[in-house]
Amino acid sequence: MDGIGAGRTAWRRGGALFRRALGGFVAALLLAGAPSPGQEEEEEAPVFPPATPERLPRWRGFNLLEKFRLESGNRPFAEADFRRIADWGFNFVRLPMDYRLWIVDGDPEQFDENVLREIDAAIAWGERYGIHVCLNLHRAPGYTVARPAEEMDLWTDEEAQRLTALHWAMFARRYRGIPSERLSFNPVNEPDREVEPAAYAYVMARVAEAIREEDPARLIILDGLEFGTRPAFEALHLDVAQFTRGYAPFPLTHYRAPWVPGADDYPPPHWPVNEVNGFLYGPMKAEFAEPLRIEGPFPEAVRLRIRVGVVSIRARLRVRADGRTVFERVFDPRAGEGEWEESVYRAEWAIYQNRFDLDVFADIPADTQEVEIDIAEGDWLTVRELGLRPAAAPGRGEARLAPGQEVWGGSQVGLAFDAERHTLRAESETDRALLWEDYIRPWQALEAQRVGVMVGEWGAYHRTPHDVVLRWMEDCLRNWEEAGWGWALWNLRGPFGVLDSGREDVDYERFEGHRLDRRMLELLQRY
């Protein structure tokens, strides 16, 4: 047996002793699973599938956000949510929480028993309704992806590490003896790209040690690196499972999300997503500069429409047909007045980057074989949409394509115009197959090291069109079903969820005082 396997065996033997001892009054109460008033005592006890660091069940469920962040309030969890989740056929909840909600008078070493009892209730409802509960610190002492930032730095500050371990030791002691089939710990939400892998593994080892000193058998599930998108191979020795994320492509899932800088400027989402980059760079960004090419042939003359989005400093947009310039126009945000929709001064760079949202037109001669669009002079601009319409028959309609991504410094892919079908398509797309290659295959390499994997968060914000969301969700769900992974939607109620999402393009159903997105729910139930 290798060192990892021996360590796992030791932890489990110790865990069995703890379960027999049932140390802790709270755990004893939760294990009892006392029925609610009126609940029949002879009701059959739910069955929980085995859960180990090497292999997680294919749990499916939701994140519940009652204790997500102090600024959003400190609400108790709702038993009705657990009942609905179970009635719909799901069996998992993740509880992302803010440690500030249970500390007393700002003292991170003093815990409010009234708040902790609300977490106890959620765990008890999980037992009652056959739902696994995963506790997560979305904000831990010294780290959060939310605002405001923590004053300490968990990854470098000894005191932050001590306090985070202290909080998890408290939970481990409080729930000691509750089987890992029912309860797991997810220590810290989404280490960002600035977190060094070695530092992450060190801090998580310290937290895991604190947990296991109180409850050696507790199942621990770490988030992956880089906001949960990359497997943390550096943590293999810790005997833990790992959560990945389901927020790809990000401009689709977070379109116009107010907490994401620049999300209002993302191109309108589509699925599958073409890989045309909306950025066009000029000589001032020569390392990125390359034209956007449209391959023909164009047997008849067409009018090319280009919707210009944001222009930085100054840019001369040029269109060439088989190498001959057929259109040029200078966009200068520095001018006192212009055709822009919004003037934006970037004080940090002392430049203007104005939003134009303006259509310009170039006439492409008949028999052209290739069209090139580039920035002949200046900094950069974004292209929001392209359209091609026959010059001699404008009523025939327009072939349209919106660039599917805006990736700073990203390479460009070509477009192809089909004159017979009158369509404009990208040479490559992000689709279900590419999601598999980019976001599942790397995690399968982690699974091969005997580490269980699950999608701890996923979903799309309510500003993404509903039909786009459903097509994208089904491809994600098919991939995860094939991979054998569970998942937890962010959230149950709210802008990512099936209840009260606030989408403007959904035919909602009235359901127990809520607005239910029945189409999304039934899609989730199929997988």
The CATH number of the domain where 295 resides is what? 2.60.120
Distance CA 69, CA 50 (A): 31
Claim to verify: residue 76 and residue 131 sit in the same structural domain:
yes
Averaged pLDDT, 106-119: 98
Claim to verify: residue 209 and residue 291 sit in the same structural domain:
no
183-186 and 132-140 strand pairing: parallel
Claim to verify: residue 146 and residue 281 sit in the same structural domain:
no
Residue 421 within any structural domain of the chain: yes
Averaged pLDDT, 109-114: 98
Tell me the percentage of the chain whose pLDDT exceeds 90.
Answer: 85
Question: Does 2 have pLDDT greater than 60?
Answer: no
Residue 142: both structure tokens together: 């010294």
Averaged pLDDT, 475-501: 98
Residue 443 within any structural domain of the chain: no
What pLDDT is recorded for position 393?
A: 76
Give the model's confidence band at 266: pLDDT under 50 very low, under 70 low, under 90 confident, else very high: confident
Residue 291 within any structural domain of the chain: yes
What pLDDT is recorded for position 179?
A: 98
Distance CA 27, CA 223 (A): 26
Give the model's confidence band at 6: pLDDT under 50 very low, under 70 low, under 90 confident, else very high: very low
C-beta neighbour count of 325 within 10 angstroms: 12
Question: Does 33 have pLDDT greater than 70?
Answer: no
Claim to verify: residue 74 and residue 181 sit in the same structural domain:
yes
For the four alpha carbons of 290, 417, 464 and 139, in that order, the dihedral sign comes to negative
Of 35-49, 64-78, 179-193, 462-476, the one with minimum mean pLDDT is: 35-49
Distance CA 22, CA 175 (A): 9
What pLDDT is recorded for position 404?
A: 86
Residue 53: both structure tokens together: 């660091």
Averaged pLDDT, 232-255: 97
Claim to verify: residue 117 and residue 188 sit in the same structural domain:
yes
Averaged pLDDT, 71-93: 97
7-18 pLDDT, tens per residue? 333 333 333 333
Distance CA 202, CA 415 (A): 47
Question: Does 24 have pLDDT greater than 60?
Answer: no
What pLDDT is recorded for position 407?
A: 84
Claim to verify: residue 322 and residue 404 sit in the same structural domain:
yes
Residue 162 within any structural domain of the chain: yes
Averaged pLDDT, 110-114: 98
Averaged pLDDT, 363-380: 98
What pLDDT is recorded for position 264?
A: 87
Claim to verify: residue 334 and residue 216 sit in the same structural domain:
no
Claim to verify: residue 249 and residue 353 sit in the same structural domain:
no
Reported pTM: 0.82
Q: What is the DSSP letter of 230?
A: B
Question: Does 354 have pLDDT greater than 70?
Answer: yes
Of the candidates 283, 194, 211, 204, which has an alpha carbon nearest to the alpha carbon of residue 237?
A: 204
What pLDDT is recorded for position 1?
A: 37
Claim to verify: residue 290 and residue 347 sit in the same structural domain:
yes
Whether 253 contacts 273, CB under 8 Å: no
Whether 183 contacts 51, CB under 8 Å: no
What pLDDT is recorded for position 11?
A: 36
Q: What is the DSSP letter of 285?
A: G
Claim to verify: residue 19 and residue 165 sit in the same structural domain:
yes
- Residue 27 has phi, psi (to 5 degrees) of -60, -40
45 compared with 88, residue with greater pLDDT: 88
Of 11-15, 260-264, 311-315, 493-497, the one with minimum mean pLDDT is: 11-15
What pLDDT is recorded for position 30?
A: 67
Whether 511 contacts 520, CB under 8 Å: no
Of 301-310, 331-340, 361-370, 517-526, the one with minimum mean pLDDT is: 331-340
Contacts of residue 25, Cβ cutoff 8 Å, sequence gap at least 6: none
Q: In the predicted model, what is the mean pLDDT of the chain?
A: 92
What pLDDT is recorded for position 43?
A: 66
Give the model's confidence band at 265: pLDDT under 50 very low, under 70 low, under 90 confident, else very high: confident
Claim to verify: residue 199 and residue 288 sit in the same structural domain:
no
Claim to verify: residue 87 and residue 226 sit in the same structural domain:
yes
Find the helix or strand (DSSP H, E) in which 435 lies: helix 432-439
Q: Please give the tally of structural domains in the chain.
A: 2
Contacts of residue 441, Cβ cutoff 8 Å, sequence gap at least 6: none
User: Could you list the residue range(s) of the whole structural domain that residue 237 is in?
Assistant: 3-256+453-465+487-493+519-526
Distance CA 339, CA 296 (A): 32
Picking from 415, 430, 445, the residue at the C-terminal end of a domain is: 430
Find the helix or strand (DSSP H, E) in which 358 lies: strand 351-364
Q: DSSP states of 94-154 as a string?
A: EEEEEGGGSEETTEEEEE-HHHHHHHHHHHHHHHHHT-EEEEEEEEETTEESSSSPPSS-T
Give the model's confidence band at 19: pLDDT under 50 very low, under 70 low, under 90 confident, else very high: very low
**C-alpha dist (Å) from residue 54 to 161, 306, 449, 453:** 26, 52, 8, 9
Residue 159 within any structural domain of the chain: yes
